[in-house]
Amino acid sequence: MIERAHLHELRERIRRIERPTALVHGVLPFGIAAIDQVLPGGGLALGALQEILGVGGDEEDGALAAAFAAGILGRLGLHRTPETPAPCSLPGASLAGGRPGASPPTGEGRGGGMVLWCLPRPDLYGPGLAAHGLDPARLVLVRASRDAEILWAMEEGLRAPGIAAVVGEVGSLAAVASRRLQLAAERSGITAFLLRRWRVGGQAAHERALPNAAVTRWRIAALPSKSLPGEPGVGRPRWRIELLRCRGSEPACWEVEEADATGHVSLAAALADRPAAPVPAQKFRLAG
Amino acid sequence: MPLADALSFLPSLATAAAEPAEDAAALRRLAEWCSRYSPWTAPDGTDGVRIEITGSAHLWGGEEALAAELMARLDRRHVATRIAIADTLGAAWATAHFAEGKSPIILPPEGCRAALAPLPVEALRLDPAATQGLRRVGLKRVGDLYAMPRAALVRRFGESVARRLDQALDDLPEPLSPLGEAPIRRVRLSFAEPIADPADLLRATERLVADLVPRLAGEGSGARLLDLVFHRVDGRVERIRLGTARPSRDPRHLVALFKERLDTVDPGLGFEDVILAAFAVEPLPPEQIGLPGHPAGPHPIGNEASGIAPLLDRLGNRLGLAAVSWLDPRASYIPERASVRVPVGETLASSVAPAKAGAQGQPAPRPGSLDPRFRGDDETRPPRPIRLFEPPEPVEAFWLLPDDPPFRFTWRRRRHRVTRADGPERIADEWWRPEGSGTGSRESGDAIRDYYRVEDEEGRRFWLFRSGFHVGDYKPRWFVHGVFS
C-alpha cells in the first residue's frame, strides 16, 4: 500500500518535471482549431507572461493589441482547474466577443475576477472594451508615467489574491524585469499580458530585437475589412494574428475576421503565410 | 524710544532686525511640538502657546508632572517660559502673564475666581482703550469688577469686558481651535533615548498600529486616513500621511503601507516621540473569512473586491490615490462622458455611489452582466473604438462634398488614404445639462460633431469627427477621437 502511494507520488513528480512549466496552471483555448493546434497544450498558457506587439502606426496606439487582450480577458476567470482546461464549446465564445448586445458566453470559459490594467496614458475606452467581450466593471486602471512604475504595479498585481489577470503597457522592458514577471505569474497562477507601445521608431526597433522571458509573443496587424454584400462602407474587420515566438512550438500566422451574427470567428482563406508544420486543409473552416 | 536715541545712550547696544514672519513660524513650530502633550494646541498671540490638556494630563502622571516636564524640556531648548494651568483659557492666560510666583502655577479646580481677583485688569485681554477707561474710574483689579452690575459695565466699556470676564470665570465657553485637524483616535509612544535606526522606527510603527487596532475593532470601525507623526529631539516634526481605499484595521496591511514610506522621514539626531493619529474612520463590520484547511468556496462578491483592497492601497499610496481608478459608465451620448474614470478612493467618500456599488461602495463585478450603458441601448448603435484620445487630436483632412467623409487625412505627420468610411453619426451637445457640454466648450460653432468610422489603405480603422459646419467661409475642423481594432 505504501509502495503504491510512493509510486503514484513519484509518477506525479516525474510528470511534473517532464511537462513544460508553461502549462502548470492550465490553458485557455481560443476556440479556433487552427490556433489551438499550434499552441502547446491546446490553448493560451495561463499563469505565464504573454507579450503582444503592434505593427506600423498601431505601435503607438496599441489598439489592436488591446483588443486582442480584451478578447482573451473576457473569457479568463478566477476559477482555474489546473489539469482540465475549460473548452469553449459554445459558438458565442469567440475572439472578438461577438457584436455588441449579443448574449455573453455562458460556458465554462466565462470570465470573472478583477483585471489590473496598467497604462501610461488613460486612453482605454469602456464601451470599446465591452464590444470585445471584456466587462469594464472588472477593470482596475492604474496610471503611471514611467515604465518602471508600470512594471512594479504589474508585479504587485501578480501577487494579490482576487486578480484574474494583469495587463501592462510598457515601452522598454529589461530581460530581468520580464523574468521577474514570469516567475511571479508562475507562482500565483495569474496571467500577465505585456502590451508594447512605442512612440519612437528607433526605440521600437531596438526593443523589438531584445529577448525577454515571455512565453508567447504575438503581433496583431490590421487588414482591410471584408465588405459585406450590398453594404458600402467599412465591412467586417479583419486582422492578422502572428505568433512570433512560442515556448514549445513554432511561429505561425493567421488571418481572422470578426465574428458574424452567429458569433463565429472564422479563419480567412489566405493561409499561405504559414511556415513549418503541414496541416491538411480540411481542418480549417471558412467563413460562410 | 527710537533706536537712534538708545544707541546714543549706549553705543555698545546689541541690535538685530525684527523678523516677525520668522518669529511667527517659530511659534507655530513650537505649538506643533507641543502637540506631543495634546492634539489641541495653538499659538497664542505672538509669544504664547495654548494647550488644552483635558483628558491627557493623566498620561503624564498629573498636571504637576506634565508642567514640570514641559518646563524642563523648554529649558533644555533655552526657551524662557511661564507656565500656568487653570480651568479656563482666560484664567490660565491671566495667571501666566500677570501672576506672581514661581512658574509653573497651577490653579486648583474652581479656584479661578479667587486667583484672578488680585490681578490687574490688563489680565483680562482687553484692548488698551477699555483698560484705560476702567483704570480711570478706579477699577484697577479684576476683583473690583466682580461686584459691579453687568449692565453698567457693558454700557460704559463695551461688551468685551463682560465677555472676557465670563470667559475667565468659566461662565462662557471659549473653544480652542487647534493647529490642523483634531484626530479621532491617537496613540503615542515616547522614548527615553531618541531612536533613528530604521529597524527601530519600524518596530515603533508596529507597536503603535497594534495599539490602535483594538480600539478601532472595539468600535467596529476601520481607519481611512492616518497620520504618523515623528517628533525630533531638535523640535522639528515629520509626518507620514496615509490614505486607504477601504476602511482597514488589518495591522499587517497598515504596517506594510507605512513601511514603504518610512525612509522618507529624516530622523536627524533621533526621534523622541512617535504619534499615530486616525483622522477619518468609517464603520467596518467584521468579515467572514474562510476556515484554514478548507478550500475557499465561490467568492461572494464583497470578498472578491475586498481581496484586492490591500493591493489598491499599495498602488495608490505609491503612485497617488488618483492614479488608481475604476471605469464607470455614464448615460451620455458624448463619447468622452460615457465612460468616466473614478479614483478608487472616491467611491466611498461621495454620497452618490455608482449604480453598481456593493455593500461597502465597492463595484461588484458580476460575470455575464455587462452594464447596459457600456453595451449601448440597442444593437444598432454604431461601434465604439477601444482607444479614445483625450483631447481629440486634430488632423488635416481633405474632402469632396460638405457631408462627405475625408478621402485623405494627415495625422501625426502620417498620411492616410481613406478606402472605406461609415457615417456620419451626429452627436450634438446635451442641452439638458446645465453646466454646458463638452462638445461646445471650444468655440460656439463647434457644438455639433459628425463622426465617421474610416478605414485607410492598410486596414487601420479610425474614428474621425468633423466639428462645425460649412457656413460661409468657416472651415470645419477635423479630429481623430479614437482608434478601432
The per-residue pLDDT for range A217-256, each reduced to its tens digit, is: 999 999 998 888 888 888 888 899 999 988 888 899 998 8
HEC letters along A162-204: CEEEEEEEECCCCHHHHHHHHHHHHHHCCEEEEEECCCCHHHH
Put simply, whether B27 touches A (Cβ < 8 Å) is no
Is the torsion defined by CA of B294, B300, B306, B311 positive or negative? Answer: positive
**Measured between alpha carbons, how far is A125 from B215 in angstroms, rounded to an integer?**
44
Look up residue A32 and give its DSSP letter: -
**Whether B400 and B370 share a structural domain:** no
Do the Cβ atoms of A127 and B375 come within 8 Å?
yes
Q: ipTM score of the complex? A: 0.75
Using the structure block, give the residue that is written with the C-alpha cell 478612493: B345
Q: Which of A55-69, B204-218, B378-392, B457-471 has the lowest mean pLDDT?
A: B378-392
- % of chain B exceeding 90 in pLDDT: 21
Q: What is the mean pLDDT of residues B199-212?
A: 93
Asked which of B283, B315, B344 is the last residue of a domain, the reply is B283
Residue A82 reports pLDDT greater than 50? no
Which chain B residues are Cβ-neighbours of A237 within 8 angstroms? 461, 484-485
User: Nearest CA to CA, how far is B406 from chain A (Å)?
Assistant: 13
**Whether B141 and B240 share a structural domain:** no
**Whether B336 and B395 share a structural domain:** no
Q: Which of B180-194, B387-401, B436-450 has the lowest mean pLDDT?
A: B436-450
Do the Cβ atoms of B365 and A132 come within 8 Å?
no
**Whether B88 and B211 share a structural domain:** no
pLDDT at B229: 92
Q: Which CATH number characterizes residue A50's domain?
A: 3.40.50.300
The candidate with the shortest Cα–Cα distance to B432, out of B327, B329, B331, B328, is B331
Using pLDDT thresholds of 50, 70 and 90, give the confidence band for residue B36: confident
CB A23 within 8 A of CB A45: yes
The CA dihedral of B442, B445, B449, B450, to the nearest 10 degrees, is -150
Instruction: Give chain B's mean pLDDT.
Output: 82
Using pLDDT thresholds of 50, 70 and 90, give the confidence band for residue B444: very low
Would residue A17 count as lying in a domain?
no
**Whether B351 and B272 share a structural domain:** no
Would residue B299 count as lying in a domain?
no
Instruction: Give chain A's mean pLDDT.
Output: 76
Do the Cβ atoms of A123 and B299 come within 8 Å?
no
Residue B205 reports pLDDT greater than 90? yes
> Which residue of chain A comes nearest to B414, CA vs CA?
A57
3-state helix, strand and coil shares in percent for chain A, rounded to the nearest 5 = 30, 25, 45
Using pLDDT thresholds of 50, 70 and 90, give the confidence band for residue A1: low
User: Nearest CA to CA, how far is B279 from chain A (Å)?
Assistant: 26
Would residue B241 count as lying in a domain?
yes
**Measured between alpha carbons, how far is A204 from A182 in angstroms, rounded to an integer?**
22
Would residue A206 count as lying in a domain?
yes
**Whether B406 and B270 share a structural domain:** no
**Whether B29 and B157 share a structural domain:** yes
Of B297 and B246, the structure prediction assigns the larger pLDDT to: B246
Predicted structure pTM score: 0.68
Q: What is the mean pLDDT of residues B294-298?
A: 46
Asked which of B375, B409, B441 is the last residue of a domain, the reply is B375
Dihedral pair phi/psi, residue B249, rounded to 5°: -135, 30
Q: What is the pLDDT of residues A266-285, one digit of tens each?
A: 555 444 344 444 444 443 34
Long-range contacts of B112-121 (CB under 8 A, 24+ apart): B112/B86, B112/B87, B112/B88, B112/B168, B112/B169, B112/B170, B113/B146, B113/B169, B115/B86, B115/B91, B116/B91, B116/B142, B116/B143, B116/B168, B116/B169, B117/B141, B117/B142, B117/B143, B117/B146, B118/B142, B118/B143, B119/B94, B119/B95, B121/B145
**Measured between alpha carbons, how far is B476 from A282 in angstroms, rounded to an integer?**
53
> Which residue of chain B comes nearest to A261, CA vs CA?
B379
3-state secondary structure (DSSP) of residue B208: helix
3-state secondary structure (DSSP) of residue A4: helix
Residue A144 is nearest to which of B307, B319, B420, comparing CB atoms? B319
pLDDT at B275: 92
Would residue A1 count as lying in a domain?
no
**Measured between alpha carbons, how far is A114 from A95 in angstroms, rounded to an integer?**
19
CB atoms within 10 A of CB B158: 15
Do the Cβ atoms of A234 and B314 come within 8 Å?
no
Domain that holds residue B411: 387-483
Would residue B382 count as lying in a domain?
no
Using pLDDT thresholds of 50, 70 and 90, give the confidence band for residue B289: low
Would residue B227 count as lying in a domain?
yes
Domain that holds residue A176: 23-99+110-225+233-283
Q: What is the mean pLDDT of residues B94-116?
A: 87
3-state secondary structure (DSSP) of residue A68: helix
Would residue A57 count as lying in a domain?
yes
Would residue A54 count as lying in a domain?
yes
Would residue B291 count as lying in a domain?
no
Would residue B173 count as lying in a domain?
no
Asked which of B264, B283, B302 is the last residue of a domain, the reply is B283
- Number of structural domains, chain B? 4
> Which residue of chain A comes nearest to B306, CA vs CA?
A162
Burial class (CB in 10 A: 0-12, 13-18, 19+), B3: exposed
CB atoms within 10 A of CB B211: 15
Would residue A53 count as lying in a domain?
yes
The residues pairing with B342 across neighbouring beta strands, listed in sequence order, are B326
**Measured between alpha carbons, how far is B29 from B232 in angstroms, rounded to an integer?**
12
**Whether B54 and B118 share a structural domain:** yes
Using pLDDT thresholds of 50, 70 and 90, give the confidence band for residue A58: confident
Would residue B347 count as lying in a domain?
yes
Q: Which of A253-257, B67-71, B226-230, B470-474 has the lowest mean pLDDT?
A: B470-474
User: Nearest CA to CA, how far is A28 from chain B (Å)?
Assistant: 17
CB B385 within 8 A of CB B455: no
**Whether B234 and B337 share a structural domain:** no
**Whether B197 and B92 share a structural domain:** no
Put simply, whether B295 touches A (Cβ < 8 Å) is no
Would residue B247 count as lying in a domain?
yes
**Measured between alpha carbons, how far is A43 from A33 in angstroms, rounded to an integer?**
10
**Whether B367 and B397 share a structural domain:** no
**Whether B51 and B155 share a structural domain:** yes
User: Nearest CA to CA, how far is B424 from chain A (Å)?
Assistant: 11
Cell numbers at B266, concatenated: 529624516
Residue B325 is nearest to which of A77, A141, A162, comparing CB atoms? A141
User: Nearest CA to CA, how far is A110 from chain B (Å)?
Assistant: 7
pLDDT at A122: 87
> Which residue of chain A comes nearest to B481, CA vs CA?
A123
Residue B125 reports pLDDT greater than 70? yes
DSSP count for chain B of H helices, then E strands: 15, 16
pLDDT at A131: 82
When mean pLDDT is compared over A265-274, B102-111, B195-204, B256-265, the highest value belongs to: B195-204
- Number of structural domains, chain A? 1
